Copies of this chain bind each other. A is one copy, B any other.
Amino acid sequence: MKESTGGTRERIQAVALELFTEQGYEKTSLREIAERLNVTKAALYYHFKSKDEIVTSFVNDRLERIDELVAWAESQPPTRETRRELIAQYADTMFAGDHPSVMRFFEQNQTVLKSLAAGQQMRGRMMRLASELCRGDDSPRAQLRAALSLFAVHTSWFAVRTPHITDADRRKIALEVADELLARIGQPADDGTAPATEADGGTTPGSGPAARG
């Protein structure tokens, strides 16, 4: 909260976030972070008492933000409108704000974050967020659709490889696709049930590419 340093602490956070996201948490050493900032490792330890405390430092405000979202959603009726509003607000935390990439860091470091306290907390929060998105319909389909609607927001900007697309466009498209998924939650399976197509069978032998034993 105190800016006395001249923002060195913030610069460390920024560089660490970038390198952790690009290369992974474990593969990024404190030496590398220090070199990029033209300081020594010891300087880093003045600002953060350990490597994973750097992660904790930029994770906490995200946790708060998600808690706000979940708390708000719980106060609303479990309607499609609530879900639509919830995912839209969530997308804002992804595309706007000063951390458009904190969640990307999480996506890229899921495994390592299992053993980090901050990571476990975040996992829990995302679970709750997904649960909230399918409140009132705990069918497996609904759970999967809710999770995928979050993925739609997360992956929209690397899964879409159209050349000159803007962040605003990505957000818009992500929300459109997410809304398609969320719209089917809570409905009595009118089309999403796929009654008797070939999608419920086995390997559909012979019709596809060479099936190997």
**Which residues of A are in contact with B by a Cβ distance under 8 Å?**
21-24, 26-27, 65, 68-69, 71-73, 84-86, 88-89, 92, 96, 108-112, 114-115, 130, 138-141, 143-148, 151-152, 155-156, 159-162, 165, 169-170, 172-177, 179-181, 184, 191-194, 197-200, 202-204, 207-212
Known: A27-B115, A159-B144. A192 touches B177 (CB 8 A): yes
Q: Is the interface of A mostly helix, strand, loop or mixed?
A: helix
The complex is assembled from copies of this chain, and their number is 2
Which of B21, B110, B155 contacts A108, CB < 8 Å?
Answer: B110
Other CB < 8 Å A-B pairs besides A21-B111, A144-B174, A144-B177, 17 of them?
Answer: A22-B114, A24-B26, A26-B26, A26-B112, A69-B209, A108-B110, A140-B165, A140-B173, A141-B173, A141-B176, A143-B161, A144-B152, A144-B156, A148-B152, A148-B155, A176-B193, A180-B181
Given contacts A27-B112, A148-B152, A199-B84, contact A194 B179 (CB under 8 A): yes
The 9 closest A-B pairs by CB, nearest first: A72-B209, A26-B26, A147-B159, A24-B111, A175-B199, A108-B111, A176-B194, A140-B160, A89-B208
